[in-house]
Amino acid sequence: MKRAVFPGSFDPFTLGHQDIVMRGTTIFDEIIVGIGINTEKQYMFSLDQRKAFIENCFKNQPKVRVVSYQGMTIDFCKTVEASYILRGVRNNGDFEFEKAIARTNRKLSDIETVFLLTSAKTSFISSSIVREIIRNKGDYTQLVPSCVRI
C-alpha cells in the first residue's frame, strides 16, 4: 500500500490544502492528513476545530484520514507506516524551504517526499493570509472549503 502523510498545522485548512490532498488520492492508496502539534505556536483554531474541519471535508473520501501528532514528521510517518510525505509547493520560496526539509528527512530516514505544484487557482492562498482576513472580519469564504466556515 502506498501511504502518504500530508503534514501541517492547517490553521486553517484552505482550498490549496484540499486540492493537494484530492490530487494526491490519485497517486496514493491512502493519505493521512497529519496535524502537527507545536506547543510553542499560537493557533487561531483549536486542534479539535482543525481536526473537525478537515474530517468534515473528507467525510466521503475513504482514502483520507486525519490524525494529530507531536514530534518529528518522519517519526510520525514510521508510526503510521507511511513511506511518503506529500507536500504542496506554491512558489520558488516554498520549493527551497521544502527541498531542505525533504533532503534532511531523506538523510534521517527512508521516507520519500513527493511535491505537487499547487493549481494556479489556489497558488496565492496561505493559511496566514486567511487568518489575517478573519482577524479583520473580511470575507475569507472564497479561500477555504465550505467545511471550514466559522
Supply the residues annotated as catalytic: 17, 41, 90, 127
Helix (H, G, I), strand (E, B) or coil at 90: coil
Cross-strand pairs, 112: 84
CA atoms within 13 A on the CB side of 87: 20
| Partner residues linked to 6 by β-bridges | 33
Candidates 81, 69, 78, 90; CA nearest to 20 is 90
> Is the distance from CB of 32 to CB of 82 less than 8 angstroms?
yes
DSSP 46: -
Q: Which helix (H) or strand (E) holds 78?
A: helix 73-79
d(CA 28, CA 22): 10
